[in-house]
Structure 1
Amino acid sequence: MNLNLPHFATFEHDGLELAFFDEGEGAPVLLIHGFASTAAVNWVHPGWLKTLGDAGYRVIAIDNRGHGQSDKPHDPEVYYPALMAGDAAALLEHLGIESAHVMGYSMGARISAYLALAHPEKVRSLVFGGLGIGLCDGVGDWDAIAEALRAPSLDDVTDEKGRMFRAFADQTKSDRLALAACIETSRQNIARAEIGKIAAPTLIGVGTKDDLAGSPQTLASQMQNAIALDIPNRDHMLAVGDKVFKKAVLEFLARENDD
């Protein structure tokens, strides 16, 4: 997957050096990747940078703290989603962007929701990928994943979900101790009453074979202005680059951009 990567720059926020790319011109779309992923793995390799760029958008993506080229502290206290949402808000301020369309996948969707609650003026619209009502009700017990990330090697991991994330972390050459710290605190849920405060138009896309995300329809029903999308025959790992998802996102953004 040695695609031409965009240029990454850095900025400082909350005592951390954070990496991002900023490509193209047009209405800005801020992309926030998922747990154990990176801006490149989540948004460049599956074609989102090209898809959005070709559609005339300015595409901005951050490497979340603990991931990619950003600083990787090993303290769980720095990975609450509100803090990572603060990084995203600070990036928009750093770039002089008053408001943007915001799209997050999995943990990135959770961070996007926290961003919309803390800084509603910065969020023109929202796309949640790979996260439905799990945003409010939780996405299961992930302690096995933290254990898998701290294990000496993949051979020592027996839990199936733990093996999947450990293999992914090894493949992306991630800092496993930073990820283990991140997984302990980044799963903080948002109460259903609280998610109902988000007024930004929202598209929620979840694979029909995704056993982590929870129902997109149930989440949409809790929100003021949300629509749910079933991404056919895709699991949590494969839904992100799906053509049905991309088409729906482009149509959604075109509608919200015209308003």
Structure 2
Amino acid sequence: MNLNTPAFSSFEHDGLNLSYFDEGNPEGPPVLLIHGFASTASVNWVYPGWLKTLGEAGYRVIAMDNRGHGASDKPHDSEAYRPWIMAADSIALLDHLGIQQANLIGYSMGARISVFATLKWPDRVRSLVLGGLGIGMTDGVGDWDPIADALLAPSIDGVTHARGRMFRAFAEQTKSDRQALAACIRGSRDLVERADMAKIEAPTLVAVGTKDDIAGSPQELAALMPDARALDIPGRDHMLAVGDKVFKAAVLDFYADLADR
């Protein structure tokens, strides 16, 4: 087991080749990590220390490069990125690995994908951790068309929209396929009805940085659900909350509580 640079494998689903790693304790409770927009399994989960934290705590740690990201195939059709389609990729990975039920941790777009997966396949989800997305899950997180425009701009030098410039810089840093990401941001923004959030019975932790200007309130989202708690990640914005030690400690505590049920 190598917690620093995991070996990636791949599987086929929906005509796409999708890249993933399967690390940690093979006999431990499985945790499926679903990364955010413009990120990758490594950028979201390995470099910020999640693989190390969960692996050392005895969990089986699984993460995939979502379609359009990392080493996975990258369709340029926005309809290929609807959240229920991306959710099906995650469930297909569990099928591929022979895992009947897993704990899901999603960050930002990955949180949305996790909710769509839970609504369609509730028996496959032991618990949910929704990071970087609060009531924005149901109410929206603003206008993201400028993000797509920024990704497709000839140069970052001409991008004046602050959030667009942030994601364009991130995409360049991760050497991403910017056309695929633009299709993804246009196709993956479907909202979840409040009444549907209330149907999710899986124990849930909603965690958002106190300086996150994208996610919306974690308390408001948790209040819609029958078995959810909220976590404020102190002093962190949308980009920095994902690796925060308070977030990691809260997830381990949440899992310890689950084990006692």
Q: TM-score range with shorter-chain normalisation? A: over 0.9
Aligned length: 257
Q: Report the counterpart of residue 34 of structure 2 in structure 1.
A: 32
Q: Report the counterpart of residue 53 of structure 1 in structure 2.
A: 55
The counterpart of 1:160, out of the listed 150, 159, 162, is: 162
Q: Deviations over 1:160-204 (max 9, x none)?
A: 000000000000000000000000011110010011100000000
- Give the TM-score normalised by structure 1: 0.98
The counterpart of 1:134, out of the listed 128, 136, 149, is: 136
Q: Report the counterpart of residue 13 of structure 1 in structure 2.
A: 13
The whole-number CA distance in structure 2 between the counterparts of 1:257 and 1:95 is 23
Q: Deviations over 1:101-135 (max 9, x none)?
A: 00000000000000100100100000000000000
The whole-number CA distance in structure 2 between the counterparts of 1:175 and 1:19 is 15
The counterpart of 1:191, out of the listed 190, 193, 207, is: 193
C-alpha displacement at 1:244, in angstroms? Answer: 0.5
* SS of structure 2 residue aligned to 1:165: helix
The whole-number CA distance in structure 1 between the counterparts of 2:51 and 2:207 is 18
The whole-number CA distance in structure 1 between the counterparts of 2:18 and 2:125 is 20
Q: Give the conservation status (yes or no) of the 8 Å contact 2:24–2:51.
A: no
Q: Give the conservation status (yes or no) of the 8 Å contact 2:24–2:54.
A: no
Correspondences of 1:149-228 after superposition (within 5 Å): 149-228=151-230
Unmatched segments (≥5 aa) in structure 2: none
The whole-number CA distance in structure 1 between the counterparts of 2:218 and 2:176 is 29
The whole-number CA distance in structure 2 between the counterparts of 1:4 and 1:20 is 15
Report the more deviating stretch, 114-123 or 248-257. Answer: 248-257
The whole-number CA distance in structure 2 between the counterparts of 1:200 and 1:44 is 26
Q: Structure 2: which amino acid aligns with 1:5?
A: T
- Give the TM-score normalised by structure 2: 0.97
* SS of structure 2 residue aligned to 1:147: helix
C-alpha displacement at 1:24, in angstroms? Answer: 2.0
Q: Structure 1: which amino acid aligns with 2:56?
A: D
C-alpha displacement at 1:257, in angstroms? Answer: 2.9
* SS of structure 1 residue aligned to 2:165: helix
C-alpha displacement at 1:224, in angstroms? Answer: 1.0
Q: Cα RMSD over matched residues?
A: 0.8
The whole-number CA distance in structure 2 between the counterparts of 1:146 and 1:90 is 28
The whole-number CA distance in structure 1 between the counterparts of 2:121 and 2:109 is 18
Q: Deviations over 1:8-40 (max 9, x none)?
A: 000000110000000022000000000000000
C-alpha displacement at 1:4, in angstroms? Answer: 3.6
Q: Structure 2: which amino acid aligns with 1:24?
A: G
The whole-number CA distance in structure 1 between the counterparts of 2:120 and 2:81 is 16
Unmatched segments (≥5 aa) in structure 1: none
The counterpart of 1:99, out of the listed 97, 101, 105, is: 101
Q: Structure 1: which amino acid aligns with 2:47?
A: H
Q: Structure 1: which amino acid aligns with 2:92?
A: A
Q: Report the counterpart of residue 82 of structure 2 in structure 1.
A: 80
* SS of structure 1 residue aligned to 2:248: helix
C-alpha displacement at 1:87, in angstroms? Answer: 0.2
C-alpha displacement at 1:55, in angstroms? Answer: 0.3
The whole-number CA distance in structure 2 between the counterparts of 1:85 and 1:218 is 24
The whole-number CA distance in structure 1 between the counterparts of 2:144 and 2:202 is 30
The whole-number CA distance in structure 2 between the counterparts of 1:55 and 1:4 is 15
